[in-house]
Amino acid sequence: MSVRSREREEIGTVRVAGAHRPESDRRRPSTAGYLFAVVIAVIGLVAAAGWGITAYLGIQRQIEDLVRVGVPGQAVVSIPEAGERVLYYEGSESISLTDLAPQVSAPDGTLVRVEAYDVDLRYDAPGGGVGQAIGTFDADSPGPYEVRINGTAPPGAEIAVGETIANSRLGSVVGAVLLILGSLGVGVVLTIVTAVRRSAH
Protein backbone atom coordinates (compact mmCIF):
# COMPACT_ATOMS: atom_id res chain seq x y z
CA MET A 1 0.00 0.00 0.00
CA SER A 2 1.37 3.38 -0.95
CA VAL A 3 2.07 6.11 1.58
CA ARG A 4 -0.65 8.38 0.08
CA SER A 5 -3.27 5.62 0.34
CA ARG A 6 -2.34 4.97 3.95
CA GLU A 7 -2.67 8.66 4.81
CA ARG A 8 -6.11 8.81 3.19
CA GLU A 9 -7.23 5.81 5.21
CA GLU A 10 -5.98 7.29 8.49
CA ILE A 11 -7.64 10.64 7.75
CA GLY A 12 -10.94 8.92 6.94
CA THR A 13 -10.72 6.96 10.16
CA VAL A 14 -10.14 10.09 12.21
CA ARG A 15 -13.07 11.88 10.59
CA VAL A 16 -15.43 8.99 11.21
CA ALA A 17 -14.30 8.68 14.82
CA GLY A 18 -14.77 12.43 15.38
CA ALA A 19 -18.24 12.49 13.81
CA HIS A 20 -19.73 10.10 16.36
CA ARG A 21 -19.11 11.27 19.91
CA PRO A 22 -20.16 8.91 22.69
CA GLU A 23 -23.28 9.85 24.70
CA SER A 24 -21.17 10.01 27.86
CA ASP A 25 -19.18 12.91 26.36
CA ARG A 26 -22.25 15.15 26.02
CA ARG A 27 -22.60 17.56 28.95
CA ARG A 28 -26.01 17.81 30.62
CA PRO A 29 -27.40 21.26 31.48
CA SER A 30 -26.28 22.68 34.82
CA THR A 31 -28.27 22.27 38.02
CA ALA A 32 -27.89 26.01 38.70
CA GLY A 33 -31.60 26.45 37.92
CA TYR A 34 -32.48 24.51 41.05
CA LEU A 35 -30.26 26.80 43.11
CA PHE A 36 -31.83 29.91 41.59
CA ALA A 37 -35.30 28.54 42.35
CA VAL A 38 -34.42 28.01 46.02
CA VAL A 39 -32.79 31.45 46.31
CA ILE A 40 -35.80 33.22 44.79
CA ALA A 41 -38.24 31.34 47.03
CA VAL A 42 -36.20 32.13 50.16
CA ILE A 43 -35.86 35.81 49.22
CA GLY A 44 -39.62 36.03 48.67
CA LEU A 45 -40.42 34.41 52.00
CA VAL A 46 -37.97 36.64 53.88
CA ALA A 47 -39.29 39.77 52.16
CA ALA A 48 -42.88 38.77 52.95
CA ALA A 49 -41.96 38.18 56.59
CA GLY A 50 -40.26 41.57 56.77
CA TRP A 51 -43.27 43.23 55.16
CA GLY A 52 -45.58 41.56 57.64
CA ILE A 53 -43.50 42.62 60.64
CA THR A 54 -43.25 46.20 59.39
CA ALA A 55 -47.00 46.33 58.77
CA TYR A 56 -47.71 44.90 62.23
CA LEU A 57 -45.53 47.52 63.90
CA GLY A 58 -47.24 50.23 61.86
CA ILE A 59 -50.67 49.06 62.96
CA GLN A 60 -49.53 48.97 66.58
CA ARG A 61 -48.37 52.59 66.33
CA GLN A 62 -51.69 53.54 64.76
CA ILE A 63 -53.53 51.89 67.66
CA GLU A 64 -51.36 53.63 70.25
CA ASP A 65 -51.99 57.03 68.60
CA LEU A 66 -55.77 56.76 68.91
CA VAL A 67 -57.41 59.40 71.11
CA ARG A 68 -58.92 57.76 74.19
CA VAL A 69 -61.97 58.79 76.20
CA GLY A 70 -62.99 57.51 79.62
CA VAL A 71 -66.43 55.98 80.25
CA PRO A 72 -68.18 58.21 81.04
CA GLY A 73 -66.07 61.08 79.75
CA GLN A 74 -65.34 63.43 76.89
CA ALA A 75 -62.45 64.50 74.68
CA VAL A 76 -61.75 66.73 71.71
CA VAL A 77 -60.45 64.86 68.68
CA SER A 78 -58.58 66.88 66.05
CA ILE A 79 -59.43 65.52 62.60
CA PRO A 80 -57.08 66.78 59.86
CA GLU A 81 -59.03 65.35 56.92
CA ALA A 82 -62.66 64.59 56.26
CA GLY A 83 -63.64 60.93 56.23
CA GLU A 84 -64.93 58.05 58.28
CA ARG A 85 -63.83 57.71 61.90
CA VAL A 86 -64.29 54.72 64.17
CA LEU A 87 -65.09 54.35 67.85
CA TYR A 88 -63.26 51.41 69.45
CA TYR A 89 -64.26 49.94 72.78
CA GLU A 90 -61.29 48.76 74.85
CA GLY A 91 -62.21 46.59 77.80
CA SER A 92 -62.41 43.09 79.16
CA GLU A 93 -66.15 42.60 78.60
CA SER A 94 -68.42 42.96 75.59
CA ILE A 95 -70.72 45.97 75.44
CA SER A 96 -73.12 47.53 72.95
CA LEU A 97 -73.08 50.95 71.36
CA THR A 98 -76.38 51.73 73.09
CA ASP A 99 -74.82 51.10 76.51
CA LEU A 100 -72.10 53.64 75.78
CA ALA A 101 -74.49 56.32 74.46
CA PRO A 102 -71.83 58.22 72.46
CA GLN A 103 -72.42 61.76 71.24
CA VAL A 104 -70.23 63.47 68.63
CA SER A 105 -70.32 67.19 67.85
CA ALA A 106 -68.87 68.71 64.67
CA PRO A 107 -66.66 71.84 64.73
CA ASP A 108 -69.74 74.01 64.18
CA GLY A 109 -71.52 72.42 67.14
CA THR A 110 -74.01 70.28 65.19
CA LEU A 111 -74.49 66.68 66.25
CA VAL A 112 -72.98 63.99 64.05
CA ARG A 113 -74.81 60.70 63.62
CA VAL A 114 -73.04 57.71 65.16
CA GLU A 115 -73.87 54.29 63.73
CA ALA A 116 -72.96 50.78 64.81
CA TYR A 117 -69.88 49.25 63.18
CA ASP A 118 -71.14 46.23 61.26
CA VAL A 119 -67.84 44.33 60.90
CA ASP A 120 -66.12 42.30 63.62
CA LEU A 121 -62.81 44.15 63.92
CA ARG A 122 -60.67 43.44 66.99
CA TYR A 123 -57.14 44.11 68.19
CA ASP A 124 -54.99 43.81 71.30
CA ALA A 125 -55.41 46.99 73.31
CA PRO A 126 -52.21 48.64 74.62
CA GLY A 127 -53.41 48.56 78.23
CA GLY A 128 -54.50 44.94 78.07
CA GLY A 129 -57.83 43.51 77.10
CA VAL A 130 -59.33 43.58 73.64
CA GLY A 131 -60.18 46.52 71.42
CA GLN A 132 -63.28 46.21 69.27
CA ALA A 133 -64.72 48.53 66.63
CA ILE A 134 -68.15 49.41 67.92
CA GLY A 135 -69.28 52.62 66.19
CA THR A 136 -68.53 54.88 63.27
CA PHE A 137 -69.27 58.45 62.19
CA ASP A 138 -68.52 60.61 59.15
CA ALA A 139 -66.42 63.72 59.62
CA ASP A 140 -67.60 65.97 56.80
CA SER A 141 -64.93 68.58 57.39
CA PRO A 142 -61.60 68.81 59.22
CA GLY A 143 -61.40 70.40 62.64
CA PRO A 144 -61.98 69.63 66.32
CA TYR A 145 -64.76 67.13 67.08
CA GLU A 146 -66.05 66.69 70.60
CA VAL A 147 -66.67 63.07 71.55
CA ARG A 148 -68.76 62.53 74.66
CA ILE A 149 -69.48 59.13 76.18
CA ASN A 150 -72.58 59.36 78.34
CA GLY A 151 -73.12 55.68 79.14
CA THR A 152 -71.45 53.26 81.49
CA ALA A 153 -68.96 50.42 81.14
CA PRO A 154 -66.92 48.13 83.41
CA PRO A 155 -64.10 49.83 85.35
CA GLY A 156 -60.99 50.52 83.30
CA ALA A 157 -62.79 50.54 79.95
CA GLU A 158 -62.04 53.27 77.41
CA ILE A 159 -63.25 54.45 74.03
CA ALA A 160 -60.57 55.02 71.38
CA VAL A 161 -61.31 57.28 68.40
CA GLY A 162 -59.50 57.37 65.08
CA GLU A 163 -59.24 56.04 61.56
CA THR A 164 -60.06 52.45 60.75
CA ILE A 165 -57.23 49.94 60.96
CA ALA A 166 -59.05 47.51 58.65
CA ASN A 167 -57.50 48.91 55.45
CA SER A 168 -53.98 48.62 56.86
CA ARG A 169 -54.53 45.01 57.84
CA LEU A 170 -56.09 44.00 54.55
CA GLY A 171 -53.44 45.65 52.40
CA SER A 172 -50.60 44.09 54.40
CA VAL A 173 -52.08 40.59 54.30
CA VAL A 174 -52.84 40.72 50.57
CA GLY A 175 -49.41 42.14 49.73
CA ALA A 176 -47.53 39.54 51.77
CA VAL A 177 -49.58 36.67 50.30
CA LEU A 178 -49.02 37.89 46.72
CA LEU A 179 -45.29 38.20 47.36
CA ILE A 180 -45.11 34.65 48.72
CA LEU A 181 -47.14 33.21 45.85
CA GLY A 182 -45.13 35.12 43.25
CA SER A 183 -41.73 34.00 44.57
CA LEU A 184 -42.86 30.39 44.95
CA GLY A 185 -44.36 30.47 41.45
CA VAL A 186 -41.10 31.68 39.91
CA GLY A 187 -39.22 29.05 41.87
CA VAL A 188 -41.51 26.28 40.64
CA VAL A 189 -41.19 27.42 37.01
CA LEU A 190 -37.39 27.47 37.23
CA THR A 191 -37.40 24.01 38.79
CA ILE A 192 -39.61 22.58 36.05
CA VAL A 193 -37.59 24.21 33.24
CA THR A 194 -34.32 22.93 34.68
CA ALA A 195 -35.71 19.40 35.13
CA VAL A 196 -37.04 19.30 31.55
CA ARG A 197 -33.76 20.53 30.05
CA ARG A 198 -31.74 17.98 32.01
CA SER A 199 -34.04 15.10 31.15
CA ALA A 200 -33.77 15.93 27.45
CA HIS A 201 -30.01 15.26 27.45
Mean pLDDT of the chain: 82
Q: What are the C-alpha distances in Å from 94 to residues 87, 97, 99, 131, 174?
A: 14, 10, 10, 10, 30
Q: What is the pLDDT of residues 112-124, one digit of tens each?
A: 999 999 889 999 8
Instruction: State whether the Cα torsion 53-54-59-65 is positive or negative.
Output: positive
So what's the pLDDT on residue 127?
77
Q: What is the pLDDT of residues 19-45, one digit of tens each?
A: 455 554 456 667 777 788 888 888 888
To the question of domain 68-164 being in CATH 1.10.3470, the answer is: no
Cβ neighbours of 187 (radius 10 Å): 22
pTM for the whole structure: 0.67
